[in-house]
Chain A
Amino acid sequence: MHYRNGRDSLHVDDLAELVKEKGLDKRPAPKPTGVAAVLAQAIGALLLVLAFGSLSFAQALPDQVDEGEVRRLGNVVQHVGAGPRSDGSDEFMEAVAPPASDADKWFVSIVTSKSCPACNRLKADWQASPDLKAWAVPGDAKTSWAHYNEYNGGDRSQAFRFTGIKIEGYPTILVQPPRTGKFGDPKTVVCQITGYGNAAGLANRMSANVRAYTAKIRPIASRPLPGARAPALGPGGMVSGWRQPAPFNPNDLIPTPLMPSPLGPPPQVNPQPVAPDAPEPAQTDAIPATQELVVVMDDAGLDPSVHTRIRELADRWKKGTRVRYLDFATAKLRYPVKRDETPVVLATSDGRIEDKVSARLLPLLMPQLSISDLPWTSLLTLLGGGASLPVFVGIGIWAIGRVRAARQAAGQTVLPQQMYDELTKLLQNLSGAKASAEALKPMTLEVSEDPRLDRIEKALEGLASRLGPSPQDPPARS
């Protein structure tokens, strides 16, 4: 099948584009107004009538609906795929009645992405796993406990549905209460789970959330179902199969599929975050937030010094912050991390990523000032009453080096290395304090001896040059 611009076929994702391209989303051009325009239209219409006067008036309306066939068919319900249901028997009206209402069913929706192995695994598991089929049976709405819908995250025709929530990764599993309002507002996100590990784990998490929700939300007396009017009697006095819903009995709780006994009392479960590694619907004041630093490691592992810095960062960030180490394979199922980012530290609050930083940058972000970093020679000379220009220049060079290191760590623009070297040389020459300045080598020079950090410094320089080179900047280096 060929679409005129050369594409083999049209996918639903392209619908918006196609409609826009064909101008189907545009309103028709406004009709001309004014006496002259109306007169012109009237004359045109008259000419048309005269020209096609011989045509039958029956053709004046486009034959959009075959009304004759509708009348010929009479009372027929054809379930396409199941054959027509009409045999003229007494059971006929029963057969042609609408199915039982499924407005009491919960909603399970999954939002997936095309290029997501976990999404494909989830969809495959949902077809086979008894744990998940207890919740919803894809393709079999009648036996399914909940309405099951699969949405493609890239499908622009469905994007409007999810503007009220934050989709943080794929797959995302959403559980919502039934349309009837018996279990509260049907818009409510009872459970939002991002990522997929295994069927049993997912089923347990959904179950825990629905239990917590139903324990919290007392089912309200069912408001009259929209359309709850008793169906009209058919010929022969047969009542169609769809009946007015029975009055709601507060004790008649709809059990979740994994509840041990549908007849038992509703479980009294205090709502708690189900798992600290998955996003929950929203922040809460009632439940203290779980702060974690999640360290996603690469194959090379981390230097012991980085571990220390991570612990310090945890102490500084928020009270009670825990540190968790994950390998990349595990982390990628739960967080949107890429391999080339590792090792990386994710600062999370209740599973939501609030910040992230490369673990390799931590030593730069949190440089420690040790006793040995201080310009002892100059300080002792100064304290000994030897205040002179070389001493002050030595201390000044040390201070400039510290400021430069801090700005580099904060990602701010710094003086290019070549200019910085020239400046220090100039100061040394001016003061004649070359020897003491050599002894007081600035911290950045020590830092840049580390090959890994040298790479970072180059990247920062590249960033600085992209931000806009000053006229004094030296020519770009290869």
Chain B
Amino acid sequence: MKHALLALLLAVSCASSAFGQALQPALDLPDDIRAWFRNPDGSCVQCSIGMCGVDQNVPAAALLLWDSEYGKKVRGGSGPSRVSAYCDARAIRAFNVTGSNTWDWMRWACATGRGAAIGAGRMHFQTLVAHDPSTNTWYVCNNNSPTRIDRYDEKSFRQLHLASGQWVVILDYPPHPARPEYVRWW
């Protein structure tokens, strides 16, 4: 039993280091900022979009959960039409995608450095953080446990996404740059 636990721990640590080194996350937020978007009252769609808002530096989206200069707080459950309405009201540009093509959109978002708010789990929305095409591994942040990044293989991820119905929301803004560092190139 001990050996199995040890192996599990090793596998988890290897997976997390691989995520840290080889893959650039599309959504790049530290734990403490993701924790701001812990689901308070069944507002999972707004929590997921809010994370993308901070990541892409779109305050009108980042502040969806709270009263702000961009509008009243938006709380509770949502469908595509509600998302469309409040994005319109706040002048948030977004792709509101439903149907069978959501897989391509999710791959596109990760490949171009954008996070995505996605249907994930029964009646639930989560934030897509990264996709590793070499292993077909998906990384997702659940707003019920926002300081953790969950890892799914292709099959599990398909189940997860299909469980909620195929719907994704991607903010139509430039992606964030990688965190800048001085690298001796000259």
Contacts and interface: CB of A to CB of B under 8 A. Distances in A.
Chains A and B form a bound pair? yes
Interface in A194-233: 212-213, 216-217, 224-229, 231-232
A9 B113 CA distance: 31
B182 A189 contact: yes
A281 interface: yes
Interface string A242-261: 10000000000000000000
Contacts of B108: 98-99, 101, 227, 242
B35 A184 contact: no
Chain A interface main SS type: loop
Interface in A235-289: 235, 240, 242, 271, 281-282, 284, 286-287
A64 B113 contact: no
Interface stretch (B1-9, B10-18, B86-94): B86-94
A93 B79 contact: no
A83 to B, nearest CB: 10
Contact of A65 (B99, B167, B182): B167
A242 B170 CA distance: 15
Given A62-B77, A74-B98, A232-B103, A80 B186 contact: no
A242 B185 CA distance: 33
Nearest to A11: B69
A96 interface: yes
Contacts, number: 278
Contacts of A187: 178-181, 183
Contacts of B184: 282, 284
Chain A CB within 10 Å — which of B40, B54, B104, B109 has the most? B104
A339 B92 CA distance: 42
Interface in B29-86: 29-30, 32-33, 35-36, 38, 40, 42-45, 54, 57, 59, 62-63, 66-69, 71-72, 76-84
Contact of A63 (B123, B166, B177, B183): B123
A243 B83 CA distance: 28
B153 interface: no
Contacts of A18: 66
B63 A74 contact: no
Nearest to B100: A75
Contacts of B176: 149, 161
Interface in A7-30: 9-12, 15-16, 18-19, 24-25, 27
A135 interface: no
B97 interface: yes
Given A67-B123, A188-B181, A229-B133, 13 more contacts: A62-B123, A65-B44, A76-B97, A79-B94, A80-B87, A109-B177, A163-B179, A186-B24, A187-B179, A226-B130, A226-B131, A228-B111, A284-B184
